[in-house]
Structure 1
Amino acid sequence: MKNINKLLGLATILTTIFLQGCGGGGSNNVTSPTIPNSKKNIYVLGSSTFEYMNPALTSISQEYNYNLINYAKGGEFLYSMCLRIGAFPGTVKFKNTQLINDSKNYVIADWPLDFSLKTFDVEINNIKGHMGIDQNGYYFIPNNAYNTNTEANIAYPIHSIFPKIDRNSVFIVNLGKNNLLGNDPILGSTEYVLNKSNECINWIDQNLTHNIIVVGFFTSTQPTQELIEKVNIVNSNLSQKYTTRFFDLKNYMNSNDIWQDTHISPTSADLLNQKNQVMPITLSKDAVHVNEQTNIAISKKLILFLYNKFK
């Protein structure tokens, strides 16, 4: 019996060595990246493009030993994204002077109204709680505000309670898609999106991490000429400013690579749409979002791009 066990053990070792030498049965011509030994955190700021991409992005990140923390929220505007992490200031005036614990205390805020705001942790007047929004407007839910009064005419600064970031972490930012898609002449202008994006990215660089990937925008399946021009202006400016840290999503969506990476055969209409800077129907989930095959392809391309920048 002992001899049999020894033979089985030897067979196991030889099999393991064989599989390692053959790359688990894969081609010897395929080279895999050297995966970092320690996990690196990747934070994502964006809207529905990256919220819907979360399953694919999380899966691909894990292959590189990255830990993905996704703060993307569908419909959210640029200011809200950056307010959450503490990059932008904000003040509130309480509508009622008596705060009610664990309840919605409605406020008048000094930042743009955003009904898609993702609830986040804040501290106001030394009281910790949550900032959110519903059909009645912005509200603050305090955690420990028993018998606490506020002054009606005082604008209280809000302080975002954002987790401590390791300087080795990476931020992926895609800021302002819903601003560009909207009709607000100020909040939806290229000037506003570029100025606020640069302000937010600069704050991240100075206060959180230097490791930042700036992702550009694609259009939609039925874009107006105005939207195409706005996307081109923003992409061009971001590309010039952030150079090797800019991930040109629109360029990838308009390339032949996207068809190879998704294993989708384009129609003649798809190829015409690419030429006209329109999102191909075959790659889309709806008018402004891509399907899961495309999410997977983008995630692979983006994480490899990030890996090559911050090995």
Structure 2
Amino acid sequence: MKPSNMGTGRVVGQFGIGRVDGPDVDNEPEVVPLSGSITFTPSVPYFPNRTSSPNPITVLTAPITAVLDYDGYVCTPAADGVTPLYRGIQLFATDDPDMSVENWTYSVVYRFNAVNGAAPTIKAHSMALPEGAEIDLTKAVEVPSSPGVGTPQALALLAEAEAAASASAQSARVAMSVRDDADAGLFDGKPGPPGDPLNQAGADFMVKNYDFLTGWDRRAPILGGDGHLFVATDRTSRETWIGARREDGGPTDLSLWHMQNRLGIHQHADASVSWAVLDAAWRYTEMQLNNDGNVPDEVLRRWASRMGAATGSGLAVGDRYVNSDSSLSPVFPDVKNITIWGSSSAERIGTALAAALAGTGATFHNEGKGAETSQHISARLGSVPASLTVSGGSIPASGAVTVTAANMPNSAEMKPFTGTLNGVRGTLSSTSTVFSFTRTTAGAATPVTSGTAFIPIVGTASRQHVTLLWTGKNNLSGAGSAPLVTDQTHAAFNYLSPLVKRVLVLGHFVDTAQTSGSTQWTNVRTVNAALAALYGDLFLDVDAYLCSPQLWVDTGISPTPTDLQHQADGIKPPSIAHDSGHMNAAGYTSVSALIRTKLISLGWY
């Protein structure tokens, strides 16, 4: 934990890059968010904190790296160092006298991911961070400068251009006379048959942009062409592909045009296509990219059709494979459905989470049930099915029968759920002392072997949904419960869409009424650390978020001293608590937004 006498400040900022207008309603250029990281390196190697309590401490320094989220905002990273946890980052203040060294600075280095093959850059700079201050990096970066062209230089260039124009006026008049005769049709031969429209578009391009009498490029210097140093002509005095540009000796634009055409690689003037390979008739092939650098949807549809996805013979979400235990398992996730499994936290977050996920286009399903343990949730999901023994060894022809479960306790809070027991469909329910199985329809009495698995209907049907796992919180108040919760969470993760994982594991939080070092406090930390190590960026640390400054930014709540002390102790603060074990509306809304941000950062939506 940070010594209480060490002051901090906050760094914020947003970064984007300008680009050509995209597919929106206006015709203006776009500013799109950048991704990447920003590293803050203290200018001193350590701080001798001689006034800290209960004893002095020497704090060594190291580079601290922030990441950018999907909107380009500076964020504190999660434990994996990559996933944005919350916006803004807290750093040690550079003017705190308690650290013995004052008026030092941070070196700020920007590393942005490449855009269109080039990495945007901002020059590294130094920065001070006063205690309690919030520094926006946009106000801290060095303002770039441009050398420009001054008035004297511009006038000199203009005079030079006018002299060159006067010297070439006579030759231009001769060329214009010949060109007038050409425009009047005096040199035209017999018209040929009409050509292919796309091929004609290529010819029109050349006629429009090149003077075939002089070989000069009529355009502004798109590729740098402003006349030629040398051009070889054919027997009719037309420019051939052999030529050199005046300014650098490189190939002329016409040379490049011919070479690209023969190689089948050509830049075509189409606003919706950034690059394409053309066929002999100047038609687009399927080797093309849109303005975002992606394969166009129409090309993907053609590929899908040929691979069989459109006819049902290709890969689809309905595909299954045979698992090692001979069970059928889904191959792909169903991104059109999102389901949360858990106890009361999952149940109560439902309304806020459904609203947060509305923009994904997926249907939200809530399988949270208050007061259930990890065993009950795992049984309803099907990852650890209830192992049942039927009283008398047989399901009667109709009605209910008492059963016992070898792997979960009785609980009146368990949500009744439907499934099959030895092929007989029915509902499993519980009181505080007894489990009952009630068959759905009457039929023949059916013998059942002791320890037969009860296979749930809903859990099996939702197995390939995009899934949020928030299970086991009600177990963590008991000593020694951490391994069970970790193991059953892992079993659920493995059970869901085994080949392509779209499962996000949510970390647990400590109830408001708990104290640092309590059984639940210890178990929550043990389980969260194990889940973070197992799942990396597929783990969302809710506890860390609830104990962060970003919580107050997102909720708009001003924290009390008690809130801040709870956060420092790693315990859910009172201002977002409905009661000790649950959040209020503000808390659930902010966590729902956190989940949505995480799903988007994973590229699932």
TM-score category, normalised to shorter length: 0.7 to 0.9
Native 8 Å contact 1:76 1:114 kept in 2: no
Structure 1-normalised TM-score? 0.80
Instruction: Specify the alignment match of 1:217 in structure 2.
Output: 508
SS in 2 for 1:71: strand
Gap change, CA 1:135 and 1:235, over 3 Å in 2: closer
Q: Deviations over 1:101-131 (max 9, x none)?
A: 3x43221111221412211111112210111
Match of 2:401 in 1: 105
- State the SS of the aligned residue for 1:171: strand
Q: 2:425 matched to which residue of 1?
A: 128
Amino-acid identity (%): 24
Cα distance change of structure 1 residues 139 and 21 upon mapping to structure 2, 3 Å threshold: farther
Q: Verify: 1:200 aligned to 2:492, yes or no.
A: yes
Shift of 1:305: 0.8
Query: Following the alignment from structure 1 to structure 2, what is the Cα–Cα distance between the partners of residues 213 and 176?
Result: 15
The alpha-carbon deviation at position 99 of structure 1 amounts to 2.0
* Pairing of 1:191-270 with structure 2 (within 5 A): 191-206=483-498, 210-224=501-515, 225=517, 226-270=519-563
Helix, strand or coil at the partner of 2:486: helix
RMSD: 2.7
Distance 2:468 2:456 in 1: 19
In the alignment, what sits opposite 1:84?
A: 380
- How far residue 135 of structure 1 moved from its aligned partner, in angstroms, is 3.6
* Post-superposition offset of 1:166: 7.8
Q: Normalization by structure 2: what TM-score? A: 0.43
How far did 1:296 drift? 0.7
Cα drift, residue 20 of structure 1? 5.6
2:463 touches 2:496 (CA, 8 Å); kept in 1? no
Superposed CA deviations along residues 201-231 of structure 1, whole A, max 9, x for unmatched, are 1222427x51110100110112142221211
Separation in 1, partners of 2:497, 2:335: 21
2:461 aligned counterpart, secondary structure: coil
Cα separation, partners in 2 of 1:239 and 1:157, compared to 1, 3 Å: closer
CA shift for structure 1 position 39 = 6.7
| CA apart distance, 1:43 | 1.2
Counterparts of 2:429 and 2:351, CA distance in 1: 25
What corresponds to 2:566 in structure 1? 273
Residue 317 of structure 2 is matched in structure 1 by: none
Unaligned runs of 5+ in 1: 1-18, 23-27
The match for 1:25 is none
Regions of 4+ moved over 4 Å: 19-22, 28-33
Letter in 2 for 1:200: A
Q: Does 1:119 align with 2:411?
A: no
Q: Work out whether 1:301 is the aligned partner of 2:600.
A: no
The one-character-per-residue Cα deviations of 1:121-177 (angstroms, maximum 9, x if unpaired) are: 1111221011111244111110123352546x744332222353485x311001210
- Select between 106-115 and 210-219 the one with higher mean Cα deviation: 106-115
Is the CA contact (8 Å cut-off) linking 2:514 and 2:521 kept in structure 1?
yes
Kept after mapping to 2: 8 A contact 1:46/1:173 = yes
Structure of greater Rg:
2
Contact 2:417 2:427 in 1 (8 A): yes
Matched-pair contact (CA < 8 Å) for 2:352–2:588 = yes
Question: What are the within-5 Å matches in structure 2 for residues 98-177 of structure 1?
Answer: 99=396, 101=398, 103-115=399-411, 116-150=413-447, 154-162=450-458, 163-165=460-462, 167=464, 169-177=465-473
In the TM superposition, what whole-angstrom CA distance separates every residue of 1:222-260 from its partner, at most 9, and x where no partner exists? Answer: 214222121111111111111111101001101111111
Equivalent-residue separation in structure 2 for 1:297 and 1:147 (angstroms): 53
Greater strand proportion? 2
2:581 aligned residue (288, 294, 298) = 288
Give secondary structure in 1 for the equivalent of 2:357: helix
CA contact (8 A) 1:39 1:67 kept: no
Aligned to 1:190, which of 482, 498, 502? 482
AA in 1 matched with 2:457:
I
Change beyond 3 A, Cα 1:179–1:145: same
1:73 to 350, 361, 369: 369
Matched residues in 1 for 2:446 and 2:495: separation?
33
Structure 1 counterpart of 2:368, one-letter code? A
Q: Aligned partners of 2:440, 2:581: CA distance in 1, in Å?
A: 38
- Whether the aligned pair in 1 keeps the contact of 2:345 and 2:582 (CA below 8 Å) is yes
- The CA distance in 2 between the partners of 1:300 and 1:129, in whole Å, is 38
| The 10-residue stretch of structure 1 (248-257 or 77-86) with the greater mean CA deviation from structure 2 | 77-86
Give the length in aligned residue pairs: 277
* 2:475 pairs with 1:179: yes
